[in-house]
Chain A
Amino acid sequence: MAGYLARRFLAMLPTIVIVLIVSFFLVRFIPGDPAAVMLGPDASVDQIEQLREAMGLKQAIHVQFLRYIGRVLQGDLGHSILFHRPVAELLVLRAEPTAILAFLSVVVALCIGIPAGVLAAVKRNTFLDQALLVLALAGISVPAFLLGLLIMLVFAVQLHWLPSSGFRSILSSGNIWNIRYLLLPSVTLGFGQAALIARLTRSSMLEVLQEDYVNAARARGVVERGVVLKHALRNASIPIVTVVGFTFAGLLAGAVVTETVFAVGGVGRLVVEAVLARDYPTIQGIMLVVACMYLILNLLTDATYALLDPRIQYS
């Protein structure tokens, strides 16, 4: 297993190098002078010249790239023009709400998606199955901003159950109840993912429920609940793990919209702020971190297979 993970990590390196190249050249694709674009039309020639110097834009391109890699390897992701602080520090500061949001929304997605998928498969071709399928399809089709605004309108504005926007740190205040700020965003983000998981669980369960070993379990007199939950669901769960892995990685994309709707100052909101302000060093830093996280999560997803299905050999 450890050998397999090490080999997979090595195979990932070329992809990481390409990710580095893409994020480096992103800024170089900007038509005109990146420094002038970043500082806006009001900047003086001196200011532009200073930023060009600070960004190392005056050096040869290969020297710039090698220096960039050197800095990244030391954990230096550049300096944000908008926030006047190191990008790495900014990401750490903003990570808390996004990490909690990602975790909670996966919990929401699994709690809704798996039971709905199993139920639809067991009650195949009934009204319940059709209704769940249509609901799942609607879940995939409703834009996150609409769902977020609707949930906010009902649960925050009308019922006053939970706060409508903002976030207060749990880590710095020590108040776990601050999690209430993230409950509505988590449901918003988790619902769309739940729909995907439900669809996949259903089709995966349908396939497994036809297998001989499921019939064999029934023949041995195992009660139907045991057959479904113990024999079928465990075997049907491998594709589900894949989609959960992708879900986690894709949550940041969803967080961009959800955090904007609920005014949560996380990494997703940081992406939008950086893009709107053309804060290229921040954009570059986030791109790199997001891509690396995605690749690592993919690797972990593959590793999880072994825990669920001992038949999978990593050789």
Chain B
Amino acid sequence: MKEKDGYVDCPEQQVVLYVEKEDGTYGPMQTGSYLTRNFLDDYELKRKHLEESLKSEVQPGKFSPVYFYMVLEDLTISELSARVNMRQGKVKKHLEAKHYQQLKTDVLELYADVFNIKVAEMLRLMPLSQ
């Protein structure tokens, strides 16, 4: 790829590409992300739809905030269970609203830490049973 073809105007996300310079040598150029420049709006739209769809499923009898964030952050059950240091069977149960509502806040803190959110955000989606 020639250097002139590598240029993308996107200060929000810069990348380094290796290109053919005018003198025929191959070297790095700092430029913008083609995907972000042209398709960020599409990514954000899909993300918004995904959040709405997941939120509609976070309700008693269905799924929990743990499920919401796990899907949103593209984690498998196996990966989430390793990160919170709990058995997969236990994590699977926490994906369901009825089991989630019985949890204590210290367990929610483990999940919140992995998801990089505050416990309050999970409780806003679905509070625990009293």
Q: Do A and B come from one complex?
A: no
A residues near B, CB below 8 A?
none
